[in-house]
Structure formats: structure tokens, C-alpha cells
Amino acid sequence: MKITLILFLTITLISQGYSDSLDFCKALASVSDAEIKSLSETLYKLDHNRATASELVIDPQTLISSSETGSRDDQSSRPLFKQVSSTLLSKPTYKALLNLLDNYRRVTGEAEDVPSKEVEEQDTFLQQTMNTDVGSELYNFLHSKGIYSSQSEFIQDLKMMWFGLYSRSSGKLDSSGFEHIFAGEIKGGKVSGFHNWLQLYLNEKKGLLNYYSHSFNGPWTTYPDVLGMQFEWDGYFKEVGSAFIGSSPEFDLAIYSLCYITRPGKKCHVSLGGQTLGIQTYTWDKSSYGDGKKYIASAYPATP
């Protein structure tokens, strides 16, 4: 059945002229669930830039049930973040990510302007990620599967996949996978995306984010952990926003990219420190890049 489905997808893509998209079919065919779990464990162990207990201190406070997430009730009197070390934030991949997070117009329907300086910041972030053990391990695995022939090809595909612009509203080039997942957006009067702990911290520090509660706290006793949170971002509410907490930027990019490349638009099951976690990804199906490849629309830890 699996082989028949893969053949059907391949024939369909060829008939539609999407020859480059066969890379994704190749990934689906050649990467097993067991390999994804094994690689994710390796990436977890290689995340040397994750926060330590002394570098990051959080105060999750009130745990609510899933039936209460839409109540918009602020049940936490204190900020989520008690302490974030400046030493942690000064690491190369952290600095590269922080430089990117202020580049976006958060309201959908407003076209993004991407000057050359911001393109350089994108390139720096991706290259700094590849300079880490996490980024190198992910590339080596995908290269061994024949999905990418060189690191430069991989980086270029990541750049298009994550930073390529598409329209979520009004026909304007107003969004990208990176903006949606790492920076967050406002669409239809609500927070959309916003699945990165550093962006949470920065906005809380600026007084723009009010943490309300959490409806999920992962089983991990060290970082990275996972929280499913309720919060208000400058007047807009997020009913359930899940994110890794204390992970390095390269870890987030690698885990989401692994799942998107090998299980696009599906729930991908990873293993982190012996604990299984689902990563949900979505493809952007209204436009494409290259020869039919799909931009990433969203990715986040799937919490109950």
C-alpha cells in the first residue's frame, strides 16, 4: 500500500510538472519513522547551545485544562520568564536569530519589504546554524539519503522554504514560514503562529506580551521543554501557543525542517530524551517555489 501511494504521488507530480518536488517523495519513501526518532534523539543530544538551568529560569504558574484555554482569563500574576542569561543570548545562533525577529510587519495583508540587510541576516542565520553540530548532523543525514547533493543546495532550499514570501491575505506578499513560526503574526484579530520562546521572552521583556497560563507542560526536567501557553500579545489573544522552551535556534530550525522535509503536512513523531513528541507541520499550497516545491506554512510541537 505504501509503495503504491508513493508511486501514485510520483506520477501525479510528474504529470503536473513538479519534478523538483520528487525530492519530497524520495524523502517519504526513504526515511522511516524509526530513523526520524533516532535522528531526533541525536539532534537533542547534540544541542550543546540549549539553555541550562542557571541560564534560563521560568515560572509557568497556573496549569489549566484544555476546556479552559479560550476563557481569556489571566491566571498568572507574574511573568513567565524570571531570568535569561545574557551569555546565552550572545551565542552566534542566538544573536543571528535575534537580528531577524524585528524584520517583520506582524499584521497579515501588509506586504513585507526585504532590503539587502535583511537578506544578509537570513544568510547569516542559516550559515551559523550549519556551523553547529545540530545543523551539520541534519544535513549529513539528508545528504546520505540523496535528498541534497551539497550543503549549499541544502542551505538554499532552507532559505526558500523558510524565508520565501507568499500571501496569507489580500494578495500581498505578507508572510513566510519563518515569520509565522518564529516571529508570529496577527490574522483575523488573533495571534497566528508564534512558536518561539526567544520571541516570547523579548516581547514579555518589552511589556508587549502578557502571559496568562499554560495547558501543557512536557515531561522533560531539563531544557528543551515544551509548553502549551495562553497569552496576550499587544492586545491580541493566543488560545494555545506551543513552543520549545530553552532550545537553541538551530535545534528548532533542525527539528521543524526534519519533520517538514520528511513528513510535510503531517504529524511527525520525534524522540527527545526518550520521550515521544509529535511535531505538526503544514505546507503552503497556494503558491510554490522552484519547480513546484512548497513553502512551509507552519510547524509546532503538537500538545494535547
The residues that are catalytic are: 180, 195, 238
Is residue 117 within a helix (H) or strand (E), and if so which, with residue range? Answer: helix 116-130
Return all residues near 90 (Cβ < 8 A) that are at least 6 apart.
Answer: none
- The rounded distance, in Å, linking the Cα atoms of 304 and 66 is 8
Distance CA 81, CA 206 (A): 12
270 pairs with which residues across the strands?
277
Q: Is 184 left (phi over 0), alpha (psi -120 to 50) or beta?
A: left
- Cβ–Cβ contacts within 10 Å for residue 180, how many? 27
- Distance separating alpha carbons of residues 231 and 286, to the nearest angstrom: 30
SS3 assignment, position 65: coil
Burial of 261 (0-12, 13-18, 19+ CB in 10 A): buried
Q: What crossing angle do the helices spanning 133-144 and 249-262 adopt, rounded to 10°?
A: 20
CA-atom Rg of the chain in angstroms: 19
Treating both helix axes as pointing N-terminal to C-terminal, what angle do 151-163 and 133-144 enclose, rounded to 10 degrees? 110
Give kind and range of the element (H or E) at residue 83.
strand 81-84
Q: Tell me if 22 sits within 8 A of 258, measured CB to CB.
A: no
Give the Cα separation of 43 and 37 in Å (integer): 10
